Amino acid sequence: MFEATSKYHVEYQDSPYYFLWSVIVDRIRRDGLRHVLEIGCGTGQLAAYLLEQGIDSYVGIDFSAKAVDYARRMAPGGRFLVDDARASNIYTEEEHDVLVCTEVLEHITEDLDVVVRFRPGTRCIFSVPSYDSASHVRFFSDPGAVTARYSPYFDRLDVVQLRILSTGAPGINTIFLADGERNDVAVRL
């Protein structure tokens, strides 16, 4: 997965996810959010982008020790931890005013158990794909499907459709970007 020539080892501006990340960075900057917690930080490309844009603090977690090691080199100003999003205490232990979770939830069977762990009152920006892949346990057909699954856990959940070139499936793919404030729903519905 993390071979030297893969999309995971390029500078953030050369990644097929650059457009998605630019939208996220723009929202964070526009709204004056300064402390980022990223769930599923991968190799640190988004972290490098956010830090370059001047956020005050960044903490990222990923289940892959190899990815975290690479992230530490790609974005030395951030703090990276090997952790499991399904069981971590990071949500309450780390100061953050925005939680970012891109292209993670579709890989986790217990995605709603992860979402429930997001701290209530926190701005959350996350993305999920429209296409199937060998590592996906789910994907979404349209923004309404994303809203139907996740809106019980968020206030003012806004879902937009973004077209991105060549991420997981050949050609142009659709990614759904969701943005809302975690509410106090504490149990899976």
User: Per residue in 140-155, is it b (16+ CB within 10 Å) or e — as a string?
Assistant: beebebbbebbbebbe
pTM for this one?
A: 0.91
C-alpha 120/C-alpha 16 separation (Å) is: 31
pLDDT at 6: 61
**119/166: higher pLDDT:** 119
pLDDT at 15: 87
Boundaries of every domain in the chain = 7-182
What's the whole-number mean pLDDT along residues 137-162?
Answer: 96
Largest CA distance in the chain: 42
pLDDT band, very low/low/confident/very high, at 5 (cuts 50, 70, 90): very low
> For the segment 49-106, what is each residue's pLDDT rounded down to a tens digit?
999 999 999 999 999 999 999 999 999 999 999 999 999 999 999 999 999 999 999 9
Instruction: Spell out the residues 6+ positions from residue 68 whose beta carbon is closer than 8 angstroms to its own.
Output: 41, 60, 61, 62, 80, 81, 82
In the three-class reduction of DSSP (H, G, I as helix; E, B as strand; rest coil), residue 100 is classed as strand
Q: Is 90 exceeded by the pLDDT of residue 171?
A: no
Q: What is the DSSP string of 31-46?
A: TT--EEEEES-TTSHH
Output the CATH code of domain 7-182.
Answer: 3.40.50.150
DSSP 80: E
